[in-house]
């Protein structure tokens, strides 16, 4: 019993350290695209990492989120008190989001429309209100931000955390279940490569052309990925497209040239939100349709088996004569009878 407890505690400690390490690494990547005070970004990958870790490993790994958030913010925060407040907000947001998702019956496979809607409204939009409010408030109270900058900072913080949930969490959930497709033929591999290259080329073209309407040329590729590869294709495609758009916005290129931070954020997050929702919703609808089709096939097979068991064997049927039998009464009289 003691060895089992030691093993369980050791597994939990490894999970906590793994979540903290991945959180820190994702934060360093996210901070490369900061827009406000070298700390607030349009896509905050650690939030997606935190929620995915809670969904896959359980609530016991929440200290890893707190540890990773503290290590990241201790070099950025204006004071220790504000760092602690931001750490609390960054930990409470994914924890509350996970609790709400579990309460709603969320499944990690994201193969139902209700799971995607729960991830969007409960996990991203509602859960991330906590981190953005506490973080922005801590920066204002510490004097790092003017009170007039609270709402712009809050909006960037909230949308960045929400985008981390919508883009990073589905990708990590898919990555955990990913298996090498041994039965995929050359045609399937060619289609996957063509999809990836087409989405990459179209996104690069759209983010280097000073017309925001061209950004939505990537939508057909998201639909292609969702219809043909389900979530396993839609989630990586959405992550790639959103990352390239954020890089263009951070570099002041393409449709993001010459605008202020707020205008760029509106354009960028509208595009990223449309990208994530298109990919996730279509993939869930197609997966749900496939599941319903398979269930109908199973039900039809069971009904056919039940009908076959209820039918009597063919030899038990009596074949009726083609003509009525002859009369058993008096035979026809003969002449003179």
Q: Is the predicted pLDDT of residue 197 greater than 70, yes or no?
A: yes
pLDDT tens digits, one per residue of 23-81: 999 999 888 776 655 556 788 999 999 999 999 999 999 999 999 999 999 988 788 99
Taking alpha carbons only, the member of 125, 131, 13 closest to residue 72 is: 131
Q: Is the predicted pLDDT of residue 291 greater than 50, yes or no?
A: yes
pLDDT score for 316: 53
Q: Taking each helix axis from N to C terminus, what angle separates 62-73 and 2-30, rounded to the nearest 10 degrees?
A: 40
Q: What are phi and psi of 212, to 5 degrees?
A: -65, -25
pTM over 0.95: no
Residues of the chain above pLDDT 90, percent:
56
Give CA–CA dist 317/313, Å, rounded: 8
* Tokens at 36, concatenated: 């406000």
Confidence of residue 190 (pLDDT cuts 50, 70, 90): very high
Q: Is the predicted pLDDT of residue 185 greater than 70, yes or no?
A: yes
Residue 333: DSSP 8-state: P
Give CA–CA dist 217/233, Å, rounded: 18
If you count DSSP H runs as helices and E runs as strands, how many of each does the chain have, helices first?
11, 0
Q: Is the predicted pLDDT of residue 97 greater than 90, yes or no?
A: yes
* Tokens at 120, concatenated: 């969007």
Residue 210: DSSP 8-state: S
Residue 4's CB: how many other CB atoms inside 10 A?
8
Residues 157 and 261 sit within 8 Å (Cβ to Cβ): no
Contacts of 238 (CB under 8 A, 6+ apart): 167, 170, 171, 222, 275, 276, 278, 279, 280
From first CA to last CA, the distance across the chain in angstroms is 110
Give CA–CA dist 228/33, Å, rounded: 32
As a whole number, mean pLDDT of residues 193-219 equals: 89
Residues of the chain above pLDDT 70, percent:
86
**37 forms bridges with which residues in the sheet?**
none
Contacts of 262 (CB under 8 A, 6+ apart): 152
Residues 245 and 203 sit within 8 Å (Cβ to Cβ): yes
Contacts of 144 (CB under 8 A, 6+ apart): 37, 77, 78, 82
Q: Is the predicted pLDDT of residue 333 greater than 80, yes or no?
A: no
Q: Is the predicted pLDDT of residue 314 greater than 50, yes or no?
A: yes
Confidence of residue 3 (pLDDT cuts 50, 70, 90): low
pLDDT score for 31: 84
Confidence of residue 219 (pLDDT cuts 50, 70, 90): very high
Taking alpha carbons only, the member of 59, 52, 87, 91 closest to residue 72 is: 87
Q: Taking each helix axis from N to C terminus, what angle separates 80-103 and 45-57, rounded to the nearest 10 degrees?
A: 50
pLDDT score for 35: 60
Q: Is the predicted pLDDT of residue 120 greater than 90, yes or no?
A: yes
């Amino acid at each position: 019993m003691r060895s089992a407890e030691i093993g369980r505690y050791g597994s939990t400690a490894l999970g906590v350290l793994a979540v903290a390490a991945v959180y820190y690494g994702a934060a360093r990547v996210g901070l490369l695209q900061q827009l406000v005070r070298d700390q607030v970004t349009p896509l905050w990958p650690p939030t997606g990492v935190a929620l995915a870790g809670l969904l896959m490993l359980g609530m016991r790994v929440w200290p890893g989120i707190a540890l990773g958030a503290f290590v990241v913010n201790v070099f950025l925060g204006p004071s220790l008190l504000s760092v602690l407040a931001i750490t609390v907000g960054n930990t409470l947001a994914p924890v509350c989001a996970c609790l709400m998702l579990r309460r709603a019956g969320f499944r990690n496979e994201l193969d139902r429309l209700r799971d995607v809607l729960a991830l969007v409204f409960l996990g991203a939009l509602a859960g991330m209100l906590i981190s953005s409010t506490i973080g922005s408030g801590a920066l204002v109270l510490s004097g790092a931000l003017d009170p007039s900058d609270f709402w712009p900072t809050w909006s960037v913080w909230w949308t960045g955390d929400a985008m981390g949930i919508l883009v990073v969490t589905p990708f990590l959930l898919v990555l955990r279940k990913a298996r090498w497709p041994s039965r995929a033929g050359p045609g399937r591999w060619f289609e996957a490569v063509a999809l990836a290259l087409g989405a990459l080329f179209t996104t690069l073209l759209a983010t280097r052309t000073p017309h925001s309407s061209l950004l939505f040329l990537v939508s057909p590729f998201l639909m292609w990925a969702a219809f043909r590869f389900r979530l396993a294709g839609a989630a990586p495609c959405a992550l790639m497209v959103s990352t390239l758009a954020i890089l263009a916005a951070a570099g002041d290129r393409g449709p993001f040239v010459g605008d202020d931070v707020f205008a760029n954020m509106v354009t960028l997050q509208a595009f990223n939100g449309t990208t994530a929702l298109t990919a996730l919703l279509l993939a869930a609808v197609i997966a749900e349709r496939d599941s319903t089709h398979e269930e109908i096939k199973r039900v039809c097979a069971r009904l056919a088996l039940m009908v076959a068991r209820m039918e009597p064997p063919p030899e038990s049927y009596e074949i009726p004569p083609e003509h009525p039998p002859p009369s058993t009464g008096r035979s026809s009289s003969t002449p003179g009878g």
